[in-house]
Amino acid sequence: MDHFLYRDGTLHAEDVPLPEIARAVGTPVYVYSAATLTRHYRLFEEALSGLPNGIFYAVKANSNLAVLRLLARLGAGMDTVSAGEIMRALRAGVPGARIVFSGVGKTAEELALALDVGIRQFNVESEPELELLSRIAAARGRRAPVAIRVNPDVDARTHAKIATGKAENKFGIPLSRACEVYARAAALPGIEAVGVDVHIGSQLTDLAPFELAFRRVAELTRRLRAEGHDIRRLDLGGGLGIPYARDNAPPPLPFDYGALIRRTVGDLGCEIDIEPGRLIAGNAGILLARVIRVKQGEGRRFVILDAAMNDLIRPALYDAHHDIVPVAEPAPGAAGEIVDIVGPVCETGDTFARARPMPPLAEGDLVAFRTAGAYGAVMASEYNSRPLVPEVLVHGDQFDVVRARPSIEEMLDRDTIPGWLAESAG
Catalytic residues: 346
CA–CA separation, 208 and 205 (whole Å): 9
Is the backbone peptide bond immediately before 28 cis, with ω within 30 degrees of 0? yes
Three-state secondary-structure class, residue 384? helix
Q: Is 409 exposed, middle or buried (0-12, 13-18, 19+ CB in 10 A)?
A: exposed
Residue 24: how many other CB atoms lie within 10 Å: 12
Q: Yes or no: say if 371 and 4 are a contact pair by the CB < 8 Å rule.
A: no
In the sheet where 16-17 sits, what is the strand order?
A: 4-7, 10-13, 16-17
Three-state secondary-structure class, residue 229? coil
Three-state secondary-structure class, residue 404? coil
Residue 162: how many other CB atoms lie within 10 Å: 15
Secondary structure string (H, E, C) spanning 13-74: ECCEEHHHHHHHHCCCEEEEEHHHHHHHHHHHHHHCCCCCEEEEEEHHHCCCHHHHHHHHHH
DSSP state of 132: H
* Helix/strand/coil percentages in the chain, nearest 5: 35, 25, 40
DSSP state of 270: P
DSSP state of 356: E
Three-state secondary-structure class, residue 295? strand
Instruction: Mention every residue, 6+ apart, whose C-beta is less than 8 A from residue 283.
Output: 1, 2, 36, 40, 242, 243, 370, 371, 373
